[in-house]
Amino acid sequence: MSYFSQDELRCKCGCGEYKFDDEALSKLNDIRRDFNRPLVVTSGYRCSKHPIEAVKATGGAHTEGKAVDLAVDRADALKLLKIALRHGVQRVGVNQKGSNRFIHLDWSTDLTSPTIWSY
């Protein structure tokens, strides 16, 4: 059982590809279970032609299907972060300025880890 549908996690460039990693999805579901409220995915899997990835020299964790951006802010963002850390997440991106605030979580094993960054 998954809290997230394939539609929520598929590439949004128009290709509609779904290559989200099963193990990452399982870890995401564990976090969602503890969060105990719906989480809005603003970005899940991204193919290499997705406009955000197309400008990068090398693919990020989204192209591995091992990353999500979750639309949370303020108290919810902190709550999500606490739960994610408790679940062993080793790579976190924080965008908590202005509108469209989100927390990026990923489970890439190819990219630098542990790490945290802001946008």
* Residues engaged in binding Zn ion (CB under 5 A): 11, 13, 15, 47, 50
Considering the complex, state which of residue 34 and residue 53 has its C-beta at the smaller distance from Zn ion. Answer: 53
- Minimum distance from CB of 4 to Zn ion (Å)? 18
Q: Which amino acid, one-letter code, is at 3?
A: Y
Cβ at position 63, least distance to Zn ion in Å: 9
- To Zn ion, the closest distance from the beta carbon of 14 in angstroms equals 7
Contact (Cβ atoms closer than 8 angstroms) between residue 41 and residue 70:
yes
